[in-house]
Amino acid sequence: MASKPSIVLFRRDLRLADNPALRAGAERGAVIPLFILDDCERQKLGGAALWWLHFSLSELAGALADRGALLVLRRGDSGAVIRSLVAETGADAVFWNRRYTSAGMAADKALKTALTEAGVAARSFNASLLRDPWEVQTKSGGPYRVFKPFWNSLRAAGPAEAKPIAPPAKLTSCDAAIPSDELSDWRLVPTKPDWAAELRGKWRPGEKGADAALQKFLQSAADDYAEMRDRPDFEGTSLLSPHLAFGEISPTAIWRAAHAAAAPGEQIEKFLSELGWREFSWHLLYHYPDLKTEPLRRDFADFPWADDDAAFTAWTRGETGYPIVDAGMRQLWRTGWMHNRVRMIVASFLVKDLLIHWRRGEEWFWDTLVDADAASNAANWQWVAGCGADAAPYFRIFNPVSQGEKFDPCGDYVRRFVPELAALPNEYIHRPWTAPKELLAKSNVQLGKNYPEPIVDHACARKLALEAFAAIKKS
């Protein structure tokens, strides 16, 4: 056992199980668990993510305390905070789990160099992906830009860490009392106004919440996942995305549990392929660091996007006049989450019906999603816009009416989040402007007053979008 303590840096890996950095520190002896609220990173986190972070850190601190170690909270530049804590405590090792953004990797490389030069051991691990992005390559040694061959390669390789890493039963703490911030002083939770009431009702941040969500899904929804995952009117998805985004559960743990709970088949393969899309997104962000701001298909750099603030505001508020779009945007605002099928519908509406730049949608999702993930958010917006890797063809333009009728056939999803339309019959719930006037009056629907008229005509908008796409192809 080492006589000097080791610092274990937590970031988006807020768990004790399947945490190789924590294991490395615990094996050496005394540990100093550390979380840093880097002011630069804080500015990049959306409001919903900050809310989740507060409660996830609270859960992590409790779990560590139960095992004999106190979570140290510090605020400031990560490199400076770590060097300061090394000087304070005499720690001779620092362990962390890897990041894969270009800025994060550069900062970690500089930190590792500085620590090593100072005689402090520094080591990083993969704890957030099945495989490091550089481990999955094409036959020519380059990055994949099409999902299916990427997934085939990853599927064949399997997780890098095959065996589970058990959470430590007990941790040895540092003898010295280490000053720490109070979590409440960081003011991550909104107060005036407190818009997070429904978030508290829906979510249970933390490692225990992640495990409970996984077990509930495997016991109740996994059997018909391939069929029901596209239905927003049912709870047919795992709801694990925010837990994955904050590292409260590892993708490897989900992989193992899914295989243990079900025989190989369509359901398990479809579920695991969603993990694959997350991996593919991080693969892309690693190889194309400007994924958040620049289209992978460079011809889209000249796309004639519209600058329509009024339409964008209507979209963010769920006031477009298209019920499935409005239900999704209101679900997002109220719960910090949106069903994946509806995410595609609302994204297509923004970039193709309204011709508003996908970057504005990406930024809005980043601020409002509890599962905001740097790679998946950017990759998925580019996919819908038609300018990303393995992207949907630009001419694939979701019809918000037919999508609603297909995936919310009884209108239950719309009625929940757009209650002003609740009394409309199923026949008109996704197209209220086509309902007879007397039926609208009977249903207490006043188009243009208590529910908006459609802000665009979909057929006309589709024609304009295709013309814009044809123009950049020609140029």
Q: Which residues pair with 356 in a beta bridge?
A: 306
Q: Which residues pair with 136 in a beta bridge?
A: none
Report which of 263, 262, 258, 261 is spatially closest to residue 275, judged by C-alpha positions.
258
In what helix (H) or strand (E) does residue 95 lie, and over which residues does it extend?
A: strand 93-97
Report which of 445, 317, 308, 303 is spatially closest to residue 386, judged by C-alpha positions.
303
The set of catalytic residues is: 274, 277, 305, 340, 358, 381
Max intra-chain CA distance, the chain: 82
Distance between CA 406 and CA 403 in Å, rounded? 5
Report which of 238, 97, 242, 248 is spatially closest to residue 160, judged by C-alpha positions.
97
Q: Are strands 172-173 and 93-97 parallel, antiparallel or unpaired?
A: unpaired
What does DSSP assign to residue 353? I
**Residue with token string 């529910």:** 451
Neighbouring C-beta atoms of residue 7, cutoff 10 Å: 25
With vertex at residue 369, the alpha carbon angle to CA 377 and CA 8, rounded to the nearest 5 degrees, is 80
Distance between CA 468 and CA 466 in Å, rounded? 5
Distance between CA 299 and CA 232 in Å, rounded? 34
Distance between CA 464 and CA 76 in Å, rounded? 48
Phi/psi for 10 (5° steps) reads -95, 140
In what helix (H) or strand (E) does residue 36 lie, and over which residues does it extend?
A: strand 30-37
Helices (H), 246-373: 251-261, 266-287, 309-317, 323-335, 340-348, 358-368
Cis peptide before 193 (omega within 30 of 0): yes
Burial label, 333 (beta-carbon count in 10 A; 0-12, 13-18, 19+) = middle
Distance between CA 24 and CA 8 in Å, rounded? 9
Distance between CA 471 and CA 302 in Å, rounded? 9
For 75, the 3-state DSSP assignment is: strand
